[in-house]
Amino acid sequence: MKFRKGLLVGTAFLIAGVGLGSQLGQWSSFSNHSLVVQALAEEVKKDQTNADKSAETYRLLTLFGDVFERVRANYVEPVSDRDLITNALNGMLTGLDPHSSYMTEKQYHNMEIQTKGEFGGLGLEVQEEDGHIKVVSPIDGTPAARAGIKAGDYIIAIDGKNIDGTPLNTAVDKMRGKPNTPITLTLLRLKTPKPIKVTMTREIIHIQVIKSALYGKIGYIRISQFNEETEKGMLKAYDKLQKEAGGKLAGLIIDLRNDPGGLLDQAIAVSRDFIKEGAIVSTKARDPKENHRWNASGKDITNGLPIVVLTNGGSASASEIVSGALQDHRRAIILGGKTFGKGSVQSIMPIPGNGAIRLTIARYYTPSGRSIQGLGITPDIPVQDSYDEPEFSIREADLNHVIKNEGGNKEKPVIRNDLPAIATSIPKQPPKNWPKYDYSKPATDFQLQQGLKVVRSMAGLPVEKETPVPEIKPDPVTHPDVWKKDKPAAATPKPANENKPTDNKQQAPQTHQPAAH
């Protein structure tokens, strides 16, 4: 404590003592002095509190140093100081929430490659859950997708070696490898009594974020993730569909199923392409000065065409921003399953020479002020993808250390009265004899078929029964090299903030840890 403050506090106590010993009428003469007394007393108390906190921090850092030395000296095998510190940093961040983490220089580099559109591996988005490695979603057209790996599967072994309890980053490194090398994963799957073994060949994953197809006069655009190329690819795909339809496109389906999220600025850009005015998304941070709101920019590339958005439990983060904005503005009908429920924003903060940290810095809110954190977005027309079986079992609310749903509009959403009449006749699940879903055969995709029914009805077109539809191939406009090879490609993204500082890469909700690709 500085001497000047000590002197003033002493004087204050003296004045207060005189006041208390005088009659009530005399107290008013000291009123101004009493305000000074109160202010100074509070400042001293604050200094004392800060001093106590500093002392406690010092004691805790001493504890950390003691544990560090004991582990280094007594662990059964020698461990490098770097490994111990890296593990400690990981524990510090992952103990906060499921989406904060520390990345080594190598992991940070891999993440940058991933978000720019190309990386090597299997094509899996994974995250750690209770010491297990869980599949968030396979990426379209990759070895993992072609092998039939599903969202919600648990990876328990790699090449026959158990990985339970293995840190996520270590498991990811094991799954990566040189192209054309084999790898076998052992999986546990809901309602499957025995482990499933899947053998694949690693390959360079060309991230194909956008795919498109034309079903009659209805356009279909699949967004697999939100990376740096997403909006540009979507615009090219839309122009291509319009040309194929002779300029007479009647409606649009946007498929966000199993889209784990990505860059915030890309989610905002895609939403702005369909919403003419009003809010798109807002974020609230610890520091009110860091709160932001993004609005529409006065355009709708479709000029009001009817839109159906397909979602499921693997739709997270940036894909929830898009579906939430379109739903709140009544610009689209959401059909499928409830989304993942990740309503937080992460910022990538590089540490030169030592990797980076991914840190949760804000919550985001839909245009109506809803926080979907832990709740997800409920579809306007719920449709399961298979008969009597949940399409996705693990969501944000099931993870450890999830942040609370705070600061949002707590009122129940207004029931939509603008749904087409056909909405009441859409079945909530496929019939028991519905064929098993085959990625290469859209006619087996029950949610897609129901979406086509709805958007055709909205467009005033005849609604037919489910019939085989064209096979979806990579978009020749956005991925000419893949198209020439006639080989399916993949998809992957990342997140960012429209007002991001130059030294940070601000991520939007990416629902999970960087993928185990």
Walk along the chain (517 residues) and give the pLDDT tens digit of each residue.
Answer: 333 333 232 323 232 333 333 333 333 333 444 455 455 556 656 666 677 778 888 888 999 999 999 999 999 999 999 999 999 999 999 999 999 999 998 888 877 776 665 667 898 888 888 788 989 778 878 899 899 998 889 999 999 999 988 888 788 888 988 888 999 999 999 888 899 999 999 998 777 789 999 999 999 999 999 998 999 999 999 999 999 999 999 999 999 998 989 899 999 999 999 999 999 999 999 989 889 999 999 999 999 999 999 999 989 999 999 999 999 999 999 999 999 999 999 999 999 999 999 999 999 999 999 999 999 999 999 999 888 765 556 788 888 889 999 888 877 777 889 999 999 999 999 999 999 887 778 999 999 999 999 999 999 999 876 544 444 544 444 333 333 333 333 333 333 333 333 334 445 444 333 333 3
pLDDT at residue 494, as a whole number: 35
Helix, strand, coil % over all residues of the chain, rounded to 5: 35, 20, 45
Question: Scanning the structure block, which residue is given the tokens 């997708």?
Answer: 145
Domain ranges of the chain: 3-71, 118-204, 206-507
Max distance between CA atoms of the chain, in angstroms, equals 97
Q: Hey, which CATH number is domain 206-507, 1.20.1250.20, 1.10.10.10, 3.60.15.10, 3.90.226.10?
A: 3.90.226.10
Rounded-to-integer distance, Cα 314 and Cα 273, Å: 23
Domain 118-204 and domain 206-507 have a common topology? no
Rounded-to-integer distance, Cα 491 and Cα 140, Å: 6
Within 8 A by CB and 6+ apart from 384, the residues are: 337, 390, 391, 428, 429, 430, 446, 447
Distances (CA, A) of 154 to 131, 258, 399, 400: 11, 16, 14, 16
pLDDT at residue 390, as a whole number: 59
pTM of the complete model = 0.70
Q: Which residues are the active-site residues? A: 317, 328, 342
pLDDT at residue 48, as a whole number: 64
Rounded-to-integer distance, Cα 475 and Cα 142, Å: 16
The strand order across the sheet containing 333-336 reads: 210-215, 218-223, 251-255, 307-311, 333-336, 381-382
Distance from the first to the final alpha carbon of the chain: 55
pLDDT at residue 114, as a whole number: 66
Say whether domain 118-204 belongs to CATH 2.30.42.10: yes
